[in-house]
Amino acid sequence: MNGWKDEIPELQQASCSFERFLCTESLFNPSLGSSYGIFKSLQDMVVQSIENLDSSLQQVMIQNICLGGGNLTTRGCAFRLFEEVIKSKPKWRDDLIIQDQVVSAKQMWKRGCLLGSSSNTWITKAEFEERGDQILLQK
């Protein structure tokens, strides 16, 4: 496995090899980072989030999972998430689409700000009360 090496202040060296993958692994196996057992795995959160949606939105979300930034850009992360989700939801195999977006954290923030600043994507309380969760499909 290729390692990483960098110079840090005060003429010290830092190197990292397999440790850098442990951070990503803890997303799939939270017990690596905590012995309390209170954290959910990434795949469990994805499944729970989709299952908590109205049934009319579930199919759309199953086909539109996008990973971006940080540890989620680690090579193979999208494939690993696909495999882990399929273990608990085999019926999703033919429909599940997980894309990994290799973009910098700064780009992710810019995209989020752009999306949030677009007034046509905002849903007012009045709109939601009038049309219910169907407004999410319209915006």
What are the domain boundaries of the chain? Answer: 4-102, 106-139
For 93-135, the pLDDT digits (tens) are: 999 999 877 655 566 667 666 666 666 667 788 888 888 877 7
Can you tell me the distance from the alpha carbon of 4 to that of 113, in angstroms, rounded to the nearest whole number? 32
List the end-to-end C-alpha distance of the chain, in Å, as a whole number: 45
Does pLDDT of 7 surpass 50?
A: no
The stretch 61-80 carries a mean pLDDT of 83
Do 117 and 84 meet the contact criterion of CB atoms below 8 Å apart? no
pTM higher than the cut 0.75:
no
Question: Which fold, 4-102?
Answer: Nucleotidyltransferase; domain 5 (3.30.420)
Can you tell me the distance from the alpha carbon of 50 to that of 60, in angstroms, rounded to the nearest whole number? 9
Q: Work out the pLDDT band at 92, boundaries 50, 70, 90.
A: very high
pLDDT computed for residue 34 by the predictor:
64
Can you tell me the distance from the alpha carbon of 99 to that of 96, in angstroms, rounded to the nearest whole number? 10
pLDDT higher at 1 or 75: 75
The stretch 78-91 carries a mean pLDDT of 95
Determine whether 62 is exposed, middle or buried from the number of CB atoms within 10 Å of its CB (0-12, 13-18, 19+): buried
What are the backbone angles phi and psi of residue 115, rounded to the nearest 5°? -65, -45
Q: Can you read off the two tokens belonging to residue 79?
A: 């494939």
Report the percentage of the chain scoring pLDDT > 90.
27
pLDDT computed for residue 111 by the predictor:
67
Q: Which residues pair with 7 in a beta bridge?
A: 13
